[in-house]
Amino acid sequence: MARRRSNIQKPAMSASLRAYLLIHLHTFFASLGRFSRTPFNFMMTVSVIAITLSLPSGLLVSINNLQSVSGQIDLNNNISVFLNQSVTLQRATELSALLQHDNKVSQAILIDKQAALEEFRQYSGFGSAISALGDNPLPHVIQITPIARIDNQANLALLVTELKKRPDIHLVQMDMGWLDRLNGILNIAQRGVSIITILLGFAVLLIVSNTIRLELQSRRDEIDITRLVGATRSFIMRPFLYSGFWYGFFGGIFACLLVNLSVWLIDEPTSSLASLYNSSFNLNYMPFAHAALWVGFSISLGVIGSWIVVSRYLSELES
């Protein structure tokens, strides 16, 4: 009898390892096969997960898009220097040349008040109103483009202070304030998305747990029988963990598809809006790396949710 038993329990190492991997592979696809027999139930759960996860991932894509908008503006942040009304064109030209030599300035362009008025007359549609004004109300303006190196706030601020100290200058305007505010809002939004991600992550965990719990109940007999013929805990858990895996996997994939579908739907009206601002802006789709992270996140939730329920269930059964 001893000889017989050793036959069972000690197969050659490589053979037993291969058999072990085969069991894994078999369960892996068997759990997928089980879904194919109840596709409606499977798709319901997957859809709930996908919709739940598409909210935080979609918000994140929106934020990334807004950030890229503000990033584009960043690249051409010009400083408008309005000179005093009393400054002559000659003085303005000298000043412009002087600023051009500042090592923080890449380009300084003088827009003289006469040219500015002409341009305004042409484009604003107030042509006759402007003609009615005797004097030119516009000052000379020097448009400064800081060199690319000075993209950090401190250097930019230094340049602005230096400009403000000059006697001829009336107003230094840098349209950065609203950009800071936008970035501030985006930071808050990002924090908000993190919170939503955590909450909805829990929701997905509960969805998977509940689905697996129902699956456990419907396969109660099967579990009892496999236990009776000597199945280990991990053997019984395995198919359920793989179920959780597949729920998470497909839920994550469909969430990413939903988000990208939404981007695709919004992209066209967005670029036609952008073209009104002379911009060729296009919405960004979810980057592949992000999609992979979301799917990974979803899979982890599926496996963990399943593990919690099954291990609780088995602990109650064990004597």
Partner 1 sequence: MLQFINVSKRYPGGADALKNVSFELQNGEMAFLTGHSGAGKSTLLKLIAILERSTQGQVMLDNQNIGRISKRNVPYARRKIGMIFQNHRLLYDHTVFDNVSLPLIIAGLDRHEIKRRVRAALDKVGLLGKEQRYPITLSGGEQQRIGIARAVVNRPPMILADEPTGNLDPELSEEIMHLFEQFNQVGVTVLIASHDVSLIQRIGYRTLRLSQGKMVDNHG
- Give phi and psi for 38, each to the nearest 5: -130, 65
**Separation CA 272–CA 279 (nearest Å):** 9
Q: Does the protein bind partner 1 through residue 225 (CB under 8 A)?
A: yes
Q: What does the per-residue mask of binding to partner 1 show for 21-50, with x meaning CB under 8 A?
A: -xx---------------------------
Among 157, 222, 296, 312, binds partner 1 (CB under 8 A): 222
Residues numbered 234-263 forming contacts with partner 1, rule: CB under 8 A? 235
Among 130, 196, 231, 274, binds partner 1 (CB under 8 A): 231
Among 15, 75, 132, 154, binds partner 1 (CB under 8 A): 15
The residue behind tokens 């003085």 is 91
Measured from the CB atom, is 133 or 225 closer to partner 1? 225
Residue 262, burial from CB neighbour count under 10 angstroms (0-12, 13-18, 19+): middle
Measured from the CB atom, is 91 or 227 closer to partner 1? 227
Return the half-sphere exposure (C-beta side, CA atoms, 13 A cut-off) of residue 175.
11
Span from 89-97, 104-112, 229-237, 275-283 in contact with partner 1 (CB under 8 A): 229-237
Among 13, 148, 154, 228, binds partner 1 (CB under 8 A): 228
**Separation CA 98–CA 83 (nearest Å):** 14
Residues in the chain: 319
**Separation CA 181–CA 183 (nearest Å):** 5
Among 224, 265, 269, 284, binds partner 1 (CB under 8 A): 224
Residues 240 and 216 sit within 8 Å (Cβ to Cβ): yes
Span from 10-18, 99-107, 180-188, 195-203 in contact with partner 1 (CB under 8 A): 10-18
